[in-house]
């Protein structure tokens, strides 16, 4: 993993071997102090950017972890996997340490490749190899909407901050922009 300073176009530092296998996703925490990374080794890590120490390692998925998203308030961390599940971690309370993550498993029939969450941490979009985009309600832990508009697997999904629009990308299909909440 590398951190770049865009002002001077230079690499600030590298963290070698953060994962045992290929990293699949990286993102800053909302406060910018840490980075979340996922990997094909089945782990998710949170690394402090000042000390470069790994603060948290999660190994709850049964296959590669493909993506992660974190709510703007930093309280909810979401991970997706090739094991077809979505894991929700309540970072604020740390309940996942005792009880494990909340698992959303009744949605995708194929590997999940991407996820994004709205600013309120309520709606979550996931896309994957089953050619579906699923909108989840994270509070009720249920599928709100399933969009089957792609003819090939979905590489990436992104939501607008208000959660009303989902942008999807697929190898074969054009980019699809969908208004999901009216």
Which phi and psi (to 5°) does residue 52 adopt? 65, 20
- At 84 the pLDDT is 96
Rounded Cα–Cα distance for residues 115 and 141 (Å): 15
In a domain, 170, yes or no: yes
Rounded Cα–Cα distance for residues 1 and 4 (Å): 10
Count Cβ atoms below 10 Å from residue 125 Cβ, excluding itself.
28
Quick check: 151 pLDDT over 60? yes
In a domain, 134, yes or no: yes
In a domain, 4, yes or no: no
The pTM of this model reads 0.90
Paired tokens of 118? 């709205």
Share of the chain above pLDDT 90, in %: 70
- Which residues 6+ apart lie within 8 Å of 143 measured at CB? 106, 107, 134, 135, 136, 137
Quick check: 182 pLDDT over 80? no
Count Cβ atoms below 10 Å from residue 119 Cβ, excluding itself.
15
In a domain, 79, yes or no: yes
* pLDDT (mean) for 41-64: 95
What CATH number did the domain enclosing 85 receive? Answer: 2.130.10.10
Count Cβ atoms below 10 Å from residue 181 Cβ, excluding itself.
15
In a domain, 74, yes or no: yes
Distance (Å) of CA 34 to CA 37, 43, 160 = 10, 16, 23
* pLDDT (mean) for 90-100: 82
Quick check: 33 pLDDT over 90? yes
- At 176 the pLDDT is 63
pLDDT in tens, 54-92: 999 999 999 999 999 999 999 999 999 999 999 999 887
- At 177 the pLDDT is 64
In a domain, 3, yes or no: no
- At 85 the pLDDT is 96
Q: Which structural domain range is residue 90 located in?
A: 17-179
3-state per-residue secondary structure call for 87-109: EEEECCCCCHHHHCCEEECCCCC
Quick check: 173 pLDDT over 90? no
Total number of domains constituting the chain? 1
* pLDDT (mean) for 24-47: 96
- Report the sign of the C-alpha dihedral through residues 56, 59, 65, 67, in that order: negative
- Where do the H-state alpha helices sit in the chain? 96-99
SS3 158: strand
In a domain, 73, yes or no: yes
Rounded Cα–Cα distance for residues 46 and 27 (Å): 10
In a domain, 108, yes or no: yes
Residue 180: pLDDT band with limits 50, 70, 90: low
């Amino acid at each position: 993993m590398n951190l770049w300073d865009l002002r001077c176009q230079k690499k600030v530092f590298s963290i070698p071997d953060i994962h045992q296998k290929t990293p699949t996703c990286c993102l800053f925490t909302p406060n910018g102090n840490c980075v979340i990374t996922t990997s094909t080794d089945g782990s998710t890590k949170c690394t402090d950017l000042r000390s470069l120490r790994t603060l948290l390692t999660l190994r709850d998925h049964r296959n590669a972890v493909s993506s992660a998203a974190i709510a703007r308030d930093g309280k909810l961390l979401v991970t997706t996997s090739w094991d077809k599940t979505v894991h929700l971690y309540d970072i604020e309370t740390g309940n996942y340490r005792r009880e494990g993550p909340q698992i959303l498993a009744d949605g995708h029939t194929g590997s999940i490749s991407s996820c994004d969450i709205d600013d309120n941490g309520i709606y979550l979009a996931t896309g994957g190899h089953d050619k579906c985009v699923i909108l989840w309600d994270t509070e009720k832990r249920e599928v709100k909407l399933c969009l089957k508009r792609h003819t090939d697997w979905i590489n990436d999904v992104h939501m607008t901050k208000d959660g009303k629009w989902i942008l999807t990308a697929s190898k074969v299909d054009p980019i699809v922009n969908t208004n999901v909440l009216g």
